[in-house]
Amino acid sequence: MGDMSPAREEVRRARYAVAAVFAVHGSVTGSFATRVPWIREHAGLSAGQLGFALAFTAFGAACAMPLAGRVTHRFGSRAALRGLLAMWTLALVLPSLAPNLVTLCLALFAYGASSGMADVAMNALGVEVERLLGKSVMSGLHGMWSAGALTGSAAGTLAAHLGADARVHFALAAAVLTVLGCAVCAWVLDVQPAEDEEPPPRFTLPPRSALLIGAVGFCAVFAEGATLDWSAVFLKDRLDGSAGLAASATTGSMLTMAVARIAGDAVVNRFGAVRTVRAGGVLAVLGGLLIVLARHPAAAMTGFALMGLGIAVVVPLCFAAAGHAGPNPSQAIAGVATVTYTSGLIAPSLIGGVAQATSLMVSFCVVTALACGLVLFAGVLRAAERGEGAKAEPHGAAVSGPHS
């Protein structure tokens, strides 16, 4: 087994390694998002068919995430993360190879499944690092994911501008990210189960605590999806903003969220998870009201920025609370992630449906109402506050340092 108490310096190195893993994971997402138009054209799909195919990403993630705990139990956290992260980076190539709707759906199911399992494994390790350090780090880790997504998006935008074939672009990106991901995994903690510990079930319903925490994450991810997918449309269609100004709203929201997540740990360590989420909920509600009442693009952009700032740290804190709430962090995190993935799946289509039936203003009234849930239900994250100062190992587990 290894040393039950890894040196603090080794834990700090493990923190930086997990942060790099989050950045690699985000880079894949950012790379893929920029080439969706190429993938649609290559497969010869209509807008409706593309939307149907993209749903398989979330479907694959939701189906596979419960398996991550069993994989981690079987191989240990370090080997499991290395393998799952490599599967995810290499899966980037699959959508670009699909020549039609059926093959694209299958490719995106595999793409989403590998993403979800790697997501659970890296968040579980982030929770373990947070437990050993005795302070919040999850917000910063998710900030690194956002930074990675922005980096991947920038590289993908350049590739698209140069007219590069997405198959070549994705192959090069997958090769670089796979090598980088496997290298940094050598420094993450290696959490091994006790010899008499039973493996987690392959599929199980998430615990009730995870569902409650997931409901808070649902509100945040719904607002995030609505902001990122519909902010540009809102500015252009409702407020007659230019195409460039509309596009800048989406980029601005992503930058706001990335900066807020990277800086968020200091706020959480000072005020605690519950008060941080409640304050963020207030900012998100104010941003939503500003969006709904906006008569000028500048006011709406300010509202979107406030919305992004308010929801930025909620999902990282939901994962942290889930990981601290019970003896099986992977299972609880998988439950929360499944709920939040579902929110991310339904948000864009629901916003569009409400807008079609009424208007985009009414759609963002719905987003604002859900943001109120962050203020009302932040108390379910109190497990994260209890867990931040607990440096004991998980029941029955041994933790090895980076060189064990």
Q: Which residue has the tokens 């607990």?
A: 390
pLDDT at 75: 92
Q: Is the pTM of this model over 0.75?
A: yes
Q: What ranges in 234-325 are assigned the alpha helix state H? A: 243-271, 273-293, 297-311, 314-325
* Terminal-residue alpha carbon distance, the chain: 9
With residue 190 as reference, give the H or E element that holds it. strand 190-193
Residue-level pLDDT, tens digit, the chain, 404 residues: 444 456 778 899 999 999 999 999 999 988 998 898 899 899 998 877 887 888 888 889 888 988 888 898 889 999 999 999 999 999 999 999 999 999 999 999 999 999 999 999 999 999 999 989 988 899 999 999 989 988 998 898 889 889 999 999 999 999 999 999 999 999 999 988 767 677 666 655 666 777 889 889 999 988 887 887 678 778 878 888 776 677 677 667 778 888 899 999 999 999 999 999 999 999 999 999 999 999 999 999 899 989 989 999 999 999 888 888 766 777 788 888 878 877 776 776 678 778 888 888 998 999 999 999 999 999 988 865 555 433 333 433 445 444 43
Q: What ranges in 312-328 are assigned the alpha helix state H? A: 314-325
Task: Give the residue among 316, 304, 313 at the shortest CA–CA distance from 260.
Answer: 313
pLDDT at 392: 37
CA-to-CA distance for 88 and 227, rounded, in angstroms? Answer: 26
pLDDT at 4: 47
CA-to-CA distance for 185 and 369, rounded, in angstroms? Answer: 41
DSSP string, 93-141: THHHH--SHHHHHHHHHHHHHHHHHHHHHHHHHHHHHHHHHTS--HHHH
CA-to-CA distance for 117 and 111, rounded, in angstroms? Answer: 10
Q: Exposure of 180 by Cβ count < 10 A (0-12 exposed, 13-18 middle, 19+ buried)? A: middle
CA-to-CA distance for 372 and 376, rounded, in angstroms? Answer: 6
